[in-house]
Amino acid sequence: MNKLRTDLLIAAPGFLLLMVGFLIPVAGILLLGVRDANGVLTATHLSRFLTDPFYLEIAWRTVKLSLIITALCIVAGFPLAYIMARGSARLRLWLIISITLPLMTSVVVRTFGWMVLLGRGGLIPDTLNMLGLVRRNYSLMQTETAVVLGMTQVLFPFMVLSILGVVMRIDIRLEEASRVMGCTFLKSLRLVVLPLAIPGVIAGSLLVFTLSASYFITPSLLGGARLPVLAGSIYETATRTLDWPFAAAQSIILVVGVLMLLIPYARLSRRANG
Amino acid sequence: MNAVQLDNISKSFGNVQVIKNISLSIAKGEFVSLLGPSGCGKTTLLRMIAGLEGATSGTIHIGGKDSTRLPPELRDIAMVFQSYALLPHLTVLENVMFPLRMRKIGNRAEQRDRAVAALKLVQLDHLTDRRPRALSGGQQQRVAVARAVVSSPQVLLLDEPLSNLDARLRESMQEELILLHRQTGLTTVFVTHDQEEALSLSDRVILLNGGRIEQEGAPKALYSVPRTRFAASFMGSTNLIDAELQPHGDGARALLSDGQVLLLRAKHSAKKRATIMFRQEDAILAPEPDNAALSRGALIASVVTQIFLGARTRYVLDLGGHMIRCLAPAGQFYAVGDKVELKISPDSIHVLED
Amino acid sequence: MVESAPTSVRIAAVIYLVAIVAFVLGPLAVVVGVSFTAGDYITFPPQGLSLRWYEAVLSSSVYMGAAITSLKLAVVVTISATIIGASVATVIHRGRLPGTSVLSALFLAPLVLPTIIFALGLLIFWSAYFGRTSFAALWIGHTVIAVPYVIRTTLAVLSTSDRYLEEAARTMGAGPWKAILHVVVPQAMPGIAAGAFFAFNISFDEAIVSLFLRSPEVITLPIQIYTQLEYSPDPSIAAASALMIGLTVVLIFVIDRVLGIQRVAG
């Protein structure tokens, strides 16, 4: 009993912060989005979003971009995670530092770098122009490509780290055994490492998808007003039009939408785990 | 044609040479053990035959084919790993079919039949649909064996496959391995640090030390006539005594520091200091002799301590200042401090080279 | 295993590694490059070399004001997040409270729940009960985000430490609080310290909560950069950004020294 009281006392400031700073505000949002001015349950705000083609397009763009970004992260992330896991400790350390640096840099700074690279007269459009692929003064800004590139750079480390955690635990003897049994190197990657790394790929995908669906600074700076995404729309609604119930409703749609996509996926992960 | 032929194989990791110019041929159907303490290079040598490590110099032939530069998948081999390395995402049957699938041996139905047959060989054909994780250690080990023999490879490589099993299971698996070898006739290379295992399983034992072959030969020969101090002490419990050798009749005699004498069959023409050895089971204990026996030149030792082992008792004796061990039947009993007579046949005493 | 990867695969791997590192670090390198330009516009490669934009940033009351706000905020957030995170981690590690697993899931929830939702919630909650957003609102917001990181780094260390040390201390006459102070805290120190640096970095770089809760009196450095980017970009942004990147690099190496970046990332 005494021990429990000590533990409760130690955790008390944490509980207070969690209540005031997190649980109450989040619960508040969930309530605000489904109630009218008199506190009566209503679906007005939700249906306003779900019936307006403008907002549906925003939702669709959010899902589409997040899917593309997640897929890119898997494709680019799996080989890196494998190389990190099987390379020397030194190589692994430097690669981890390389991918955590953008992760720990402010999102505005990272995005600014992409703006310089992708904008008119930037390195990438100029190179493409030199190759004769695009006209002069071409800009990649305000395109979905720009959003995808910028977001992939930021979110890719999450994918790599969660795959890395799983691949590090795969016994290297399994790969050796498969080689002895007649697999080429690439076949052993496909038939042994990849199936066993699936839980990491799934965990990484969940993380990347959720984060990319809820980022708004990178999409709004690189995609601009012409390419609004759901999170950006929440921000605009909350700070420009100050329509908080509608912003709350959009938040609910974001959370529910992400959950609806994630729950079947998470179930898949449980099956993959056996 | 030898199943495996190693010529002047060396291997270095950085500046450390772990295999030093080893040459070795293994005949078709032979069961060979690579025996030695950890770090002697036995596992590295096995992994080089498998193609999991490259040779720094020298050549490796498998089934008469130069395989030195071949990756593992192009060598006709199979291997059982210490950790078994069963693929956790495949069932038992799929694991055993895996080498056939990869090597494209037969069609799907034939692969299945062969895999089931291999599982029958290890008495596991009733567990085909289980995942490896749902099996006991001994069962996993059998699956690994079935998976290795299923493709009838030129060489079967076993990397301490029994070391993760408990003592009783290990014994019965040893018997099964012998049986399996007799049934399949596969050329087998077995790596172990357990001398008993090596002696009981193999046709030939290769004793490795520091990346070199220390001694090789049939188990019996290696056990009873070790050539070096290392071989003698590694192959079971041994008494080593530094003594002065003198020619004596047909053989020689060894002079202990307290003046007592041991007779040897081995011939030694010149006086020299050397290490002699005899096995603890080759020394027979008798009660303290009377004067008549003493005048015959009986060896006298005193009991330092005794350890009860069940069927026998191990005595540590002081023989002229040398601590030696010997085994006595449980019926005999001597107390600490007792004087005993030690009878050792001259045939059981050997002189070591170093 | 690497030894038996064919040469063609290894060459492909090297090319791939170079491309990935360029992709991940390129944008940051560009920012640093731009910051040294002597020209008036944001161009890469930079036109000439000069430190004029650093001078501009360091002598700008707007940038310096934002930097001071960010620093103050990061310092108080570090203190509160470290104390709260370390104590919660200790309690979770002991696992004596009923429902510990639910508890740890709740405390780590801010890592998973989209920040934008909780930022909006905090904005609405704050406005409803306290009126205009203030420094204190940001403090709470950043602390909520930073606490899970401190919990994770502290737990990473505690999980590898000897569970019985605390009990041993009790048998040697230390009371429950003394045992924590003299045994648990020193053991967990590398984790707590790494968590503290994390908390500092998160607060200093955070933009989402700061953007929602900003008011004319509390403009942090990332928000200042964001505003400049939207309305009047010039190379001073690059100089300010480069300074922030520099700070992050220092923090990463410090964290690696204190705890090992691999343990934090893994």
Q: What angle do CA B10, B16, B20 make, to 5 degrees?
A: 25
Residue A240 burial (C-beta neighbours within 10 Å; 0-12, 13-18, 19+): exposed
Tell whether the model's pLDDT for residue B336 goes beyond 50.
Answer: yes
Instruction: Give the pairing of strands B204-209 and B251-255.
Output: unpaired
Instruction: Write down the pLDDT at residue C257.
Output: 86
B71: chain C residues, CB-CB within 8 Å: 4, 6
Fold of the domain spanning B237-351: OB fold (Dihydrolipoamide Acetyltransferase, E2P) (2.40.50)
Among A65-74, A258-267, C215-224, which stretch is predicted with the lowest mean pLDDT?
Answer: A258-267
User: What is the SS3 assignment for chain A?
Assistant: CHHHHHHHHHHHHHHHHHHHHHHHHHHHHHHHCCECCCCCECCHHHHHHHHCHHHHHHHHHHHHHHHHHHHHHHHHHHHHHHHHHHCCHHHHHHHHHHHHHHHHCCHHHHHHHHHHHHCCCCHHHHHHHHCCCCCCCCCCCCCHHHHHHHHHHHHHHHHHHHHHHHHHCCCHHHHHHHHHCCCCHHHHHHHHHHHHHHHHHHHHHHHHHHHHHHCCHHHHHHCCCCCCCHHHHHHHHHHCCCCHHHHHHHHHHHHHHHHHHHHHHHHHHHHHHC
* pLDDT tens for each residue of A149-160: 999 998 999 999
Answer for the pair B138, B84: CB distance below 8 angstroms, yes or no: no
In this prediction, residues C33-56 reach a mean pLDDT of 89
* pLDDT tens for each residue of B214-239: 999 999 989 888 889 899 888 877 88
Distance CA(C203)–CA(C138), nearest Å, equals 9
Asked if the structure places residue A19 within a domain, the reply is no
Instruction: Write down the pLDDT at residue B258.
Output: 80
B89: chain A residues, CB-CB within 8 Å: 195-196, 274
Cβ contact, residue pair A179, B88, below 8 Å: no
Instruction: Write down the pLDDT at residue B237.
Output: 74
A186: chain B residues, CB-CB within 8 Å: none
Among the four given CATH numbers 3.30.465.10, 2.40.30.10, 3.40.50.300, 3.40.1160.10, the one describing domain B4-226: 3.40.50.300
- Which of B71, B88, B103 lies at the smallest CB-CB distance from A179? B71
Tell whether the model's pLDDT for residue B112 goes beyond 60.
Answer: yes
H or E stretch covering B32: strand B31-35
Give the residues across from B284 on adjacent strands. Answer: B343
In this prediction, residues B58-62 reach a mean pLDDT of 95
- In chain B, the percentage of residues whose pLDDT exceeds 70 is 97
In this prediction, residues B8-17 reach a mean pLDDT of 93
Answer for the pair B44, B17: CB distance below 8 angstroms, yes or no: no
Indicate the DSSP class of residue C215: B
Q: What angle do CA B23, B27, B32 make, to 5 degrees?
A: 75
Name the domain count of chain A. Answer: 1
In this prediction, residues A67-81 reach a mean pLDDT of 96
ipTM computed for the complex: 0.88
Q: Is C230 on the interface with B (CB under 8 A)?
A: no
Chains touching A (at least 3 CB pairs under 8 A) are B, C
Q: What's the distance, CA C117 to chain centroid?
A: 19
Tell whether the model's pLDDT for residue A274 goes beyond 50.
Answer: no
**How far are the Cα atoms of B113, C30, C216 from residue C231, in angstroms, in the given order?**
73, 21, 16
Instruction: Write down the pLDDT at residue B345.
Output: 86
* pLDDT tens for each residue of A218-272: 999 999 888 999 999 999 999 888 899 999 999 999 999 888 877 887 777 666 6
Distance separating the N- and C-terminal Cα atoms of chain B:
35
Q: Is A60 on the interface with C (CB under 8 A)?
A: no
Answer for the pair B216, B231: CB distance below 8 angstroms, yes or no: no
Answer for the pair A99, C220: CB distance below 8 angstroms, yes or no: no
Q: Is C6 on the interface with B (CB under 8 A)?
A: yes
- C-alpha gyration radius of chain C: 22
Indicate the DSSP class of residue B209: E
Mean pLDDT of chain B: 89
Tell whether the model's pLDDT for residue B81 goes beyond 90.
Answer: yes
pLDDT band at A146 (very low <50, low <70, confident <90, very high): very high
- Which of A177, A182, A274 lies at the smallest CB-CB distance from B85? A177
* pLDDT tens for each residue of A170-214: 999 999 999 999 999 999 999 999 999 999 999 899 889 999 998
Tell whether the model's pLDDT for residue A10 goes beyond 90.
Answer: no
- In chain C, the percentage of residues whose pLDDT exceeds 90 is 55
Q: Where in chain B is the domain with CATH 2.40.50.140?
A: 237-351
Asked if the structure places residue A13 within a domain, the reply is no
Residue B34 distance to chain A (closest CA, Å): 19
**Domain residue extents for chain C:** 58-265
A113 vs C261, which has greater pLDDT?
Answer: A113
Domain of A220, in residue numbers = 44-273
pLDDT band at A3 (very low <50, low <70, confident <90, very high): confident
Indicate the DSSP class of residue B289: P
- Does residue C161 come out as left (phi exceeding 0), alpha (psi in the -120 to 50 range) or beta? beta
Instruction: Write down the pLDDT at residue C211.
Output: 92
Backbone CA torsion sign across A156, A162, A168, A170:
negative
Number of neighbouring beta carbons within 10 Å of residue C102? 10
Tell whether the model's pLDDT for residue C79 goes beyond 90.
Answer: yes
Residue A107 distance to chain C (closest CA, Å): 7
In this prediction, residues C55-65 reach a mean pLDDT of 92
Among B41-50, B217-226, B245-254, C59-68, which stretch is predicted with the lowest mean pLDDT?
Answer: B245-254
Instruction: Write down the pLDDT at residue A108.
Output: 92
Distance CA(C183)–CA(C170), nearest Å, equals 10
* pLDDT tens for each residue of B307-335: 888 888 889 999 888 889 988 887 778 88
Answer for the pair A185, C13: CB distance below 8 angstroms, yes or no: no
Answer for the pair A187, B102: CB distance below 8 angstroms, yes or no: yes
Give the residues across from B157 on adjacent strands. Answer: B79, B189
Distance CA(C111)–CA(C59), nearest Å, equals 37
Residue B161 burial (C-beta neighbours within 10 Å; 0-12, 13-18, 19+): buried
Tell whether the model's pLDDT for residue A103 goes beyond 60.
Answer: yes
Tell whether the model's pLDDT for residue B147 goes beyond 60.
Answer: yes
Asked if the structure places residue A142 within a domain, the reply is yes
Instruction: Write down the pLDDT at residue C266.
Output: 53
pLDDT band at C2 (very low <50, low <70, confident <90, very high): very low
Residue recorded with tokens 């006739």? B185
Instruction: Write down the pLDDT at residue B288.
Output: 76
Structure tokens at A273: 């785990």
Indicate the DSSP class of residue C44: S
Distance CA(A16)–CA(C138), nearest Å, equals 16
CATH of region C58-265: 1.10.3720.10
Question: In CATH, what number is assigned to the domain containing residue A224?
Answer: 1.10.3720.10
Nearest-CA neighbor of B42 among B18, B25, B16, B23? Answer: B18
Instruction: Write down the pLDDT at residue C1.
Output: 38
To test the contact with chain A by mutation, choose from B79, B100, B191 the residue with the greatest count of A C-beta atoms within 10 A, namely: B79
In this prediction, residues B15-19 reach a mean pLDDT of 93
Q: What's the distance, CA C203 to chain centroid?
A: 6
Size of interface B-C (CB pairs under 8 A): 10
Q: Is B54 on the interface with C (CB under 8 A)?
A: yes
Among A121-125, B104-108, B270-274, which stretch is predicted with the lowest mean pLDDT?
Answer: B270-274
Mean pLDDT of chain A: 89
Answer for the pair C94, A7: CB distance below 8 angstroms, yes or no: yes
In this prediction, residues B44-69 reach a mean pLDDT of 93
In this prediction, residues C167-181 reach a mean pLDDT of 77
* Residue in A with minimal Cα distance to B77: A180
Instruction: Write down the pLDDT at residue A271.
Output: 67
